[in-house]
Amino acid sequence: MRSTSKDTRPVNLDIGTISLPVTAYASITHRVTGVVMFFASFLMLWALDMSLASEASFNNVAAILGSPLARFISWGIASVLTYHALAGIKHLIMDAGVGETMRGGVIGARIVFTLAIGAAAIWGVLIWRLQ
């Protein structure tokens, strides 16, 4: 890799100018949701810490998580994590040799997006109705 870093040949693959297949959007979304989860982990650890510290602290964090903003953030984290997990499961299925063709990849990506949108809607209902 190091030997190519001083390569001065032009790079012609300008992603902004080409029409990407749905598989590319699924891949980029998998990466973006992964980076989001790295930051969301901090919030989840904070909530876990607070919830286990004492009963008063548990009730405090429960009250905070009941607010509309916290519900929205919780819904966002749950939806992002669900997308990331579904895209990961798709990878495992493809590792097993299923859906490795371009057509299989497109179908897999569409299934992941559809299930993730459905899951986000279900998370919305569940989190809104909680407590």
Partner 1 sequence: MATSIISLRRTGLSDWLIQRASALVLLTYFILIACQLLGSVDYISWRGLFDQTWMKIFTLLAALSLAAHAWIGLWSVTTDYLTERLLGPKGKSIRLLCQIGTSSALIGYVIWIIVIVWR
Name the residues that contact partner 1, by CB under 8 A.
Answer: 5, 11, 31, 34-35, 37-38, 41-42, 45, 48-49, 51-53, 55, 58-59, 78, 81, 85, 88-89, 91-92, 95, 126, 130
Residue found by looking up tokens 């809104």 in the block: 128
Angle in degrees, CA 35, 24, 28, rounded to 5: 10
Rounded Cα–Cα distance for residues 4 and 123 (Å): 46
The helix or strand, by DSSP H or E, that contains position 103, with its residue range, turns out to be helix 102-129
Of residues 60 and 106, the one with the C-beta less far from partner 1: 60
Of residues 80 and 109, the one with the C-beta less far from partner 1: 80
Q: How far is the CB of 59 from partner 1 (least distance, A)?
A: 7
Q: How far is the CB of 37 from partner 1 (least distance, A)?
A: 7
Q: Tokens at residue 94, please?
A: 């493809």
Of residues 37 and 115, the one with the C-beta less far from partner 1: 37
| Cα separations in angstroms, 58 against 54, 62, 64, 72, 131 | 6, 6, 10, 20, 14
Of residues 81 and 109, the one with the C-beta less far from partner 1: 81
